[in-house]
Amino acid sequence: MKSTTLIILSFLLFMEPIQSAPSHAFNSIFSFGDSYADTGNINVLAKNDSLYTDNLPYGMTFFHRPSKRFSDGRLIVDFLAEEFGLPYLKPYLEKNHSFRQGANFAVLGATALDDTFFKQHNITRFEDPINNSFSSQLKWFEELKPSLCQTTKECKNYFGKSLFIVGQIEGNDYIVMFSGLLSVKQMMSYVSTIIKSIAGTIKELIDQGARTVVVPGNIPMGCLPSLLTILKSNDSSIYDPKTGCIEKYNTLSRHHNSLLLEAVKKLQIRYPHAKIIYADFYKPVINFIRFPQRFGFTSKPLIVCCGIGGEYNWDQPRMCGTPNVTACQKPLTYVNWDGMHLTEAAYRYVSNSWLKGPYADPPILDAHAN
C-alpha cells in the first residue's frame, strides 16, 4: 500500500500542469548556460556550418520543426518563461530582437572555465574552442545592458524584477577534461575551481542588480547514454546496480553538487536581500532512471529516443539529426533525447519540481511570492 501511495504522489507531483502566473511576476528572464538552455546562439557562432539541430526530428514534439534547441521540444527555460507569461527567450547573438523581456546567453559547449585555464593546465580540447564560457556570456550581458537601463539605480530596479538562471554549464568542463584523458580523480581536484567560477558569475550579476537567481546543479553524468556507450565495459563493478549508470561519474556529479550547494548557502548569507535558489538537477533525473514507470517513461530509461545502434541506441558517427537516424514514436515516454540531452517530457518534470519543489531550495514560486 505504501508503495502504491508513493507512486500516486510522485505522479501527481510531476504531472500537475504548470499554472500560469500573472505576466508581471517577472518582467524578464536572463539565461546563462550550455546546450541544455541554448535556443540558437550556437547557430550564430557556427556561421555557415550545418548543425544537427537544423534538422528534424529536433523540435518534432512541440514546435513541429527544428527550433535550434537540443531536444524534441521545449527546454526548462521555455517552461519557466511560460510560467511567468513571458515569451520564449531569443538567443542574444542573433541581435535582431527586442530583449526587454529577457535574453538567452546560453550556448552549446559552454564551460564555466575559460579556455586559458585548460591551456595553462595542458588539458587538450577535442575541438577548437569557441568563446562561450561564463566570462564570454557575461561580456554579452554587459553589451546588452545599455539598451535596457542606463543608471545604476535604473538597472537595479529593472534587474531586480528579472529572473536569472545561471547554469547548468559545468558538465562541459568535465567533458573537456574527459576528452583530455583526465581520470575522475584528477577531475575531482578541479571541482572547487569550477565552483569558484560559477559563484563569481552569480556575484557579478547580483552586484549589477539581480535579485532572483536560479543555480542548477549537475546532472548524473554517469547516466548519459553517450558516456555509457564510449566507456562500455564488461566489468560490472563500474556500474551502479540500481541504475546501470557508471558510478564514478555520478560520484563526481554529486561531489560537484555538494560544493555548489555550499557555495550557494554562503552567497545567501552574503546577499540576504537576494533570492539565490539552488536547483537540484541530479535527484529528479536519477529518479527517472531508478523509477521510470512512476513518471510514464519506458522501463529502459537509458535508451536514447533519437539515435541508432548499440545497447543504448547511440552511435557517435550517426547521431540524431544526421541522415537515416530516426526518433522513437513516443518521445513522451523517454528520458534521454539524443544521448546527451533530455526530452521535453523530462524537462517539463524537472521545471515543475523547481517551480513548486521539492527539488529547488527554495522553490522558485515560493521565492517570488516572498
Catalytic residues: 35, 338, 341
Tell me if 343 sits within 8 A of 331, measured CB to CB: yes
